[in-house]
Copies of this chain bind each other. A is one copy, B any other.
């Protein structure tokens, strides 16, 4: 049975685990917030279950928990930031705050970032801008897992994009999506269930679509460079897979191209993981009165919500709503943590001598 753990308790415990791994208190608090927020919103793929990945990043020398990002170049609206292999949350906060500051001052701000690490769910950074009447953007490349259209080699990442647009309702519109059809965590769920995947998620070592979850997982973790995730739109061009691949490649060009950093194919080789990001903020006041624009945006969302539903469907969702509702429930009832994740946490509790008895 999956458990629910109080938000504050889970955050404090996670902070202490990260301190155990060598994070200074301030960085541990920030990273714990990033992980617990993801779980609280129902995005467990980016939650505290990632603690072992974060530990591996430190042990492998990919992330340096005491490192700090620096500004390499700065203009009125732009910045090139070197993450100096600091942990991703520290780099992302620094870069996004720089964008927000610029958007407050001159209307817009953009930062391209090299030599960073996994920054958690992209939305956490974009929504910081949205809370300030700004459009927020947060993109990142990742370790390799995905193939281009007509390819078979893993050379691109899940390369998520997030754009948040302020609205007059309780929450902004927030699209936070992998550019691949699914993130890898979803395949692991199918593997545990011993179920076949739908066609359109992955290709095998020949570059041909497959539904065989077990065989794919074996291939994916083998030394073969081939076989991997498909981008949104799936295999070939018939369902628009070339456009999904284009979005994924776009993310790598904005993150690694502009920053002279490493694109997905070159991450986790050499010093640090070399993960690269791109952030942006554009103030609504460039275009009109923010309050009026937000009301107009909300009016559009309201019409979408009220449009005719498909047979058997109860609701048309706006992006960000599911996560916001899960978050409210997590604050009330505790954050859901599944069995395998609880075991992971208990293990860390023992390892670092931190009491954990939810």
* One of B182, B284, B310 near A207 (C-beta < 8 A): B310
Cα-based distance from A309 to B147 in the complex (angstroms): 9
Cα-based distance from A285 to B73 in the complex (angstroms): 10
Known: A108-B108, A286-B75, A300-B252. A150 touches B317 (CB 8 A): yes
In the complex, which residues of chain B have a beta carbon less than 8 angstroms from the beta carbon of A112? 287
- A172-216 interface mask toward B, CB cutoff 8 Å, 1 = contact, 0 = none? 010101100110000000000000001011010011100000000
In the complex, which residues of chain B have a beta carbon less than 8 angstroms from the beta carbon of A233? 181, 232-233, 244
Most buried by B among A232, A247, A249, A310: A310
Are A297 and B177 interface neighbours, CB within 8 A?
no
Cα-based distance from A297 to B198 in the complex (angstroms): 34
Are B177 and A246 interface neighbours, CB within 8 A?
yes
- A154-178 interface mask toward B, CB cutoff 8 Å, 1 = contact, 0 = none? 0110000001010000000101011
In the complex, which residues of chain B have a beta carbon less than 8 angstroms from the beta carbon of A282? 77-78, 110
Q: Does A336 contact B (CB under 8 A)?
A: no
Cα-based distance from A316 to B258 in the complex (angstroms): 23
In the complex, which residues of chain B have a beta carbon less than 8 angstroms from the beta carbon of A97? none
Q: Does A308 contact B (CB under 8 A)?
A: yes
Are A243 and B249 interface neighbours, CB within 8 A?
no
Are A259 and B287 interface neighbours, CB within 8 A?
yes
Most buried by B among A201, A240, A242, A260: A240
* One of B152, B155, B243 near A303 (C-beta < 8 A): B155
Q: Does A331 contact B (CB under 8 A)?
A: no
Are B287 and A149 interface neighbours, CB within 8 A?
no
Known: A78-B286, A287-B259. A249 touches B181 (CB 8 A): no
Q: Does A225 contact B (CB under 8 A)?
A: yes
The distance from the CB of A198 to the nearest CB of chain B, in whole angstroms, is 5
Known: A232-B232, A304-B249, A316-B151. A258 touches B240 (CB 8 A): no
* One of B77, B284, B300, B308 near A77 (C-beta < 8 A): B77
Are B257 and A297 interface neighbours, CB within 8 A?
yes
Task: Choose the segment among A21-29, A41-49, A288-296 that binds chain B (4+ C-beta atoms closer than 8 Å).
Answer: A288-296
Lowest 4 CB-CB distances: which A-B pairs, in order?
A: A207-B310, A78-B286, A153-B308, A175-B246
> CB within 8 Å of B: which residues of A?
73, 75-80, 106-108, 110, 112, 135, 147-153, 155-156, 163, 165, 173, 175, 177-178, 181-182, 198, 200-201, 203, 206-208, 225-226, 232-234, 238-240, 242-244, 246-247, 249-250, 252-254, 256-260, 263, 265, 282-288, 292-293, 296-297, 300, 303-304, 307-311, 313, 315-319
